[in-house]
């Protein structure tokens, strides 16, 4: 298998995107990938050590959705076993550790972006892709990943990082399936980026 390496001119075209900077801080370079991986491992260890739980994101988003479902159609939530376990009766779906992880991820990402001068509105896309198509593809991909995360009972954070760290066979199978699926689909969507 060969890897496509774009020319310098193609890279310049691909990295151009319309963006609006929301702050006036000097943009700092990205952290080294190995240092970032080590820091993520330390955060994961501390999360297990302090809270007894790992990391996760899809569970927190799911609980926000169930919160609004419970506000709009409480009878449906009370009569659906999956939803009732989170919000049935007087149970508050937001009273869970993963909700705080999700909120902390959003707040931490915003603060990191502010600190490193990276807060801006932009749509990164390939030179032959319109912004609308990019947003549509992102929505479809996010919906498929969210559905898959619910089917797998966890996302890449909860399954791959937290489950993989405790050597869960199901988590390793999930991550191998994510990579295999990503490689299988990449062939069909590569035209959007070239």
What pLDDT score was predicted for residue 21?
A: 63
pLDDT of residue 7: 57
Strand partners, 121: 20
Q: Note the pLDDT tens digit of each residue in 49-83.
A: 988 888 888 888 889 999 999 999 999 999 999 89
Name residue 122's beta-bridge partners: 19
pLDDT digits (tens, 9 = 90+) for 10-57: 555 454 455 666 667 788 888 899 999 999 999 999 988 988 888 888
Using CA atoms, how far apart are residues 40 and 157, in angstroms rounded to an integer?
Answer: 11
**Burial class of 87 by CB neighbour count within 10 A (0 to 12, 13 to 18, 19+):** buried
Contact 120, 21 (CB under 8 A): yes
**And the tokens for 183?**
């490689």
The yes-or-no verdict on residue 134 having pLDDT over 80 is: yes
Task: Using CB atoms within 10 Å of the CB of residue 64, give its burial: 0 to 12 exposed, 13 to 18 middle, 19+ buried.
Answer: middle
Q: What was the pLDDT predicted at 1?
A: 47
- Does residue 154 surpass a pLDDT of 60? yes
* Residue 192 in tokens: 């959007």
């Amino acid at each position: 298998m060969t890897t496509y390496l774009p020319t310098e001119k193609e890279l310049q075209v691909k990295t151009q995107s319309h963006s609006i900077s929301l702050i006036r801080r000097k943009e700092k370079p990205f952290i080294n990938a190995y240092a970032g991986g080590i820091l993520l491992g330390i955060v994961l260890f501390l999360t297990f050590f302090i809270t007894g739980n790992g990391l996760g994101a899809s569970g927190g988003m799911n609980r926000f959705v169930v919160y609004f479902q419970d506000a709009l159609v409480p009878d449906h939530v009370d009569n659906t076993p999956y939803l009732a376990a989170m919000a049935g009766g007087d149970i508050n779906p937001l009273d869970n550790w993963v909700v705080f992880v999700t909120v902390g991820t959003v707040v931490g990402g915003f603060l990191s972006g502010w600190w490193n001068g990276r807060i801006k509105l932009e749509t990164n896309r390939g030179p032959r892709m319109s912004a609308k198509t990019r947003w549509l593809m992102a929505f479809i991909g996010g919906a498929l990943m969210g559905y898959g995360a619910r089917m797998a009972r966890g996302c890449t954070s909860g399954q791959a990082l937290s489950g993989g760290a405790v050597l869960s066979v199901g988590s390793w199978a999930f991550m191998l399936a994510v990579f295999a699926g990503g490689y299988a689909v990449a062939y069909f969507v590569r035209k959007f980026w070239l």
